[in-house]
Structure 1
């Protein structure tokens, strides 16, 4: 954002956001060029949700959210009903390491007492995101969303550089991928893996299998059902998350669920406008 009017309007919106509730927080990080690189917000409601259920986090990024092509980085937690709840949002100039680092730093500042409880982070497929998240949350497990794994490998399989195959062979490859993702044991994974290898060899798309070996076979603990559960319990990602949420609910059961989790944001009070809580990096 370089336009003065846009900067003023953004500052005004952040001031109004802070005036709604003294517990609303926002933070802005500028690039070395003086442009706005990251804008992060967390409402009082978002902070309450994460304060109650801090064990699980889903991180995802939406692209081209405005005319500047900024990306919306969203951190989603889960409540005791298994429903997703946004706990942090950062509007980022680009999906680079610096921007991710600033957004995560803002997130940590917004939730200083709960970060150490985070155990599982679910992401889609961005390897840069994974690397930055691992560096900032070394105690948390980084898992890949099963839906995105299947979708992404299907898209990669259809790329022309890997060769053209019949629709029947394409379905067989997709089926083998699905079996690998949901393999309940190492034996079942190896069976599906050998099946994928055989299909690729027969179809003449060995390059796709080599790509899979290099980028996916080496990190099965992130996306394969049997390899990503926490011993000794054989649980799916959903079951693991459910158990973590139950532990969080037991820890917080003395609070009124509906009063704390669904309390709405109060009306804007102009006399609180001076309580601007924008922290400029």
Structure 2
């Protein structure tokens, strides 16, 4: 079922290594993803004798060989250069993000000791976070300039954040760039870290062989699937009472409860910003594939419900299908209906064709 889940939710992959899971001291690469109900599931595990680029490339090639659908849209990792190189080699068209949490952790480890006062250090971190979460390039440049100007006396810290992170990797973790990527809110490797913690609790000892480790891994995967199926059923059957029927009626019972809970929060912003896309930025549209406040405002003005067609397919998947992309054969088809639509379309004059095409967008 892990492969079927992967085929159903192939867009985001999160990768991270963990240690002390077996007597051979092999690092264990775990690859996880996330469902429409925001639950983590394991896709693949790989024991490797070394964390070399060739080892990671082998693991990525094995993963790729199991894909019968398009490649993942996003892969989130730590700044493990060998892994990053392997991903670039095998999945060259996939967007890669770096874990913000680990970046902050590294900045803390490397820079805190360079500050003589706790208050100064805390203000520096506040300014650094303003750089990370800048929503536009102009805002990023402004906050970076202010950081450089205010802490010019702390050259060691400034050199570290610029040379180690910003110069080469800002597009992989600064919001001004990541806000343009459909990552469904996954900008850290925390899901993989949590999966590691659960695995180690069940292993109890790091002295098992590979076979015994796999037995426990398999049991954990089975538990994941039970929980995931339960979350799908809740989204399909739970009645939502707090939604205005006119706006949300097409979404209830057909998108996940997790997604449905995010949409009303956007609708609450419509009273503040209306349909001003410049003011809001439509981040939830570009990163989650859900209706943003300005879109909802337009539907409210015209008294129309939010159409399911503008919700990303990720949120509509509430069952494990055999394949999300690869054209599984079925006795039920719409071939005749599509042929009828084609005949009707091409029988119309050109102006009518243009109107029909516009309505289908």
- Into which bin does the TM-score normalised by the smaller protein fall? 0.5 to 0.7
After superposition, where does 1:14-29 map in structure 2 within 5 Å? none
Of structures 1 and 2, the one with the larger relative CO (CA 8 A, separation 6+) is: 1
* CA-CA distance at 1:69 after TM superposition: 2.4
With over 3 angstroms needed to count, the CA separation of the structure-2 counterparts of 1:51 and 1:122, relative to structure 1, is same
Q: 2:126 aligns with which of 175, 179, 183?
A: 175
Query: Size of the alignment, in residue pairs?
Result: 205
* CA-CA distance at 1:164 after TM superposition: 4.5
* CA-CA distance at 1:132 after TM superposition: 1.5
2:283 aligned with 1:235: yes
Q: Distance in 2 between matches of 1:212 and 1:165?
A: 18
2:47 aligned with 1:97: no
Partner in structure 2 of residue 54 of structure 1: 10
* CA-CA distance at 1:241 after TM superposition: 5.0
3-state SS of paired residue (2:129): helix
* CA-CA distance at 1:141 after TM superposition: 0.2
Residues 142, 222 of structure 1: 8 Å contact kept: yes
With over 3 angstroms needed to count, the CA separation of the structure-2 counterparts of 1:142 and 1:245, relative to structure 1, is farther
3-state SS of paired residue (2:44): strand
Q: 1:247 aligns with which of 313, 327, 352?
A: 313
* CA-CA distance at 1:199 after TM superposition: 4.0
With over 3 angstroms needed to count, the CA separation of the structure-2 counterparts of 1:71 and 1:241, relative to structure 1, is farther
After superposition, where does 1:64-83 map in structure 2 within 5 Å? 64-83=20-39
3-state SS of paired residue (2:36): coil
Q: Distance in 2 between matches of 1:245 and 1:211?
A: 41
* CA-CA distance at 1:117 after TM superposition: 3.4
* CA-CA distance at 1:194 after TM superposition: 2.2
* CA-CA distance at 1:195 after TM superposition: 3.0
Residues 59, 75 of structure 1: 8 Å contact kept: yes
* CA-CA distance at 1:73 after TM superposition: 0.7
Q: Distance in 1 between matches of 2:76 and 2:159?
A: 26
* CA-CA distance at 1:58 after TM superposition: 0.7
Using the TM superposition, name which of 193-202 and 71-80 deviates more.
Answer: 193-202
The runs of 5 or more residues in structure 2 that have no matched partner are 182-276, 291-309, 324-361
Q: 2:155 aligns with which of 206, 216, 228?
A: 206
Residues 169, 199 of structure 1: 8 Å contact kept: no
Runs of 4+ in 1 over 4 A off after TM superposition: 231-234, 241-245, 258-261
* CA-CA distance at 1:65 after TM superposition: 2.6
Partner in structure 2 of residue 275 of structure 1: none
Larger fraction in helix: 2
* CA-CA distance at 1:97 after TM superposition: 0.7
Q: Distance in 2 between matches of 1:64 and 1:107?
A: 23
RMSD of equivalent CA atoms: 2.9
Q: 1:107 aligns with which of 63, 66, 73?
A: 63
Residues 11, 74 of structure 2: 8 Å contact kept: yes
With over 3 angstroms needed to count, the CA separation of the structure-2 counterparts of 1:260 and 1:135, relative to structure 1, is closer
Partner in structure 2 of residue 157 of structure 1: 111
Residues 57, 77 of structure 1: 8 Å contact kept: yes
Residues 55, 245 of structure 1: 8 Å contact kept: no
The runs of 5 or more residues in structure 1 that have no matched partner are 1-44, 262-281
Q: Distance in 2 between matches of 1:87 and 1:127?
A: 22
- 1:39-90 per-position Cα deviation (integer Å, ceiling 9, x unaligned): xxxxxx2111101111111111113333432211111111111221111111
Q: Distance in 2 between matches of 1:82 and 1:154?
A: 29
Q: Distance in 1 between matches of 2:28 and 2:89?
A: 21
Partner in structure 1 of residue 71 of structure 2: 117
Using the TM superposition, name which of 205-214 and 76-85 deviates more.
Answer: 205-214
2:213 aligned with 1:147: no
Q: 1:222 aligns with which of 142, 164, 172?
A: 172
- 1:203-257 per-position Cα deviation (integer Å, ceiling 9, x unaligned): xx31221222222222321111112232897536x9625669932455xx5xx71
Q: Distance in 1 between matches of 2:78 and 2:110?
A: 15
